[in-house]
Amino acid sequence: MNRRLTADLKNRNSRRSTTALPKAFQKSIAVAKRSRGSVGQDRGPFTPPENWHEPHEVCIGPFEFVIQEPGRGYQHVVSEHDVRQRLSELPARFTAPLQVVQLSRMTRKKRFFPCYGMQWGTALYLYPIEAELVEYFGRPPRPAEYNETRLFGGKWEHGGGSHWKLTWTPATIRDFYLNNVLIHELGHLLDNRNTSYQDRERFAEWFAIEYGYRGRSKAVRMSTSRRRHRAK
């Protein structure tokens, strides 16, 4: 295992006995799997209001799962079974610190700063997307964003001017969430060394590639490969 990740996990284990208050976790918030949707400009990291899940001093059993209604016009693209199954494929030491996974609702306020996922304390939050699986952007996609979403089967279209849209299928968005967004946010949870936003993002991106994209099941990789071949 990567030396840096080993050190991060050791740090996490050494802090498990410390009682944590919500304010103590403010710096560990990671909104992070990028801003998306019809945001006109990048406004930097933004944390939508969320339910705070008080960490337990000692993990008892598997993590808790919380499901909220997605909100009108939105849908959750993964299920509790999907998430539990995907995380069970990782080494147990990676999910040991995880205490809650929440499928959050989309609210009016969150629509202004939408994101795919967030880590806060010992909880991971996954957000719903538009029910029609089409996302509208008021800006061109960043190169990394464009390449990453295409890697998972997202299809970009330029609507003229600054208008772009990103279209998914049920299979591609599920793949993206389970093998990118979820693993990225787990990487944030395991990262106790980095403190700057850039360094934390860099670590989470590495973790998502190493244990998400490269760790996808053979069946998923073959299915995606066939789909892209036909698209050509």
Domain that holds residue 98: 3-22+33-38+51-231
In a domain, 124, yes or no: yes
Sheet containing strand 163-167, strands side by side: 134-137, 163-167, 155-160
Q: Is the pLDDT of residue 199 over 90?
A: yes
Q: Is the pLDDT of residue 65 over 90?
A: yes
pLDDT the model gives residue 102? 96
Percent of the chain with pLDDT over 70: 70
Per-residue pLDDT band at 48 (split at 50, 70, 90): low
Q: How many domains does the chain have?
A: 1
In a domain, 46, yes or no: no
Q: How far is CA 221 from CA 175, 182, 211, in A?
A: 10, 17, 14
In a domain, 76, yes or no: yes
Convert the pLDDT of each residue in 113-154 to its tens digit: 778 999 999 999 999 999 999 999 999 999 999 999 999 999
In a domain, 64, yes or no: yes
pLDDT the model gives residue 123? 94
Q: Report the length, in residues, of the chain.
A: 232
Cα separation, 92 vs 164, in Å, equals 40
pLDDT the model gives residue 141? 92
Per-residue pLDDT band at 25 (split at 50, 70, 90): very low
In a domain, 43, yes or no: no
Convert the pLDDT of each residue in 211-227 to its tens digit: 999 988 554 555 554 44
Convert the pLDDT of each residue in 92-118 to its tens digit: 999 999 999 999 998 887 777 778 999
Structural contact between residues 138 and 102, judged by C-beta atoms closer than 8 angstroms:
no
Percent of the chain with pLDDT over 90: 60
In a domain, 28, yes or no: no
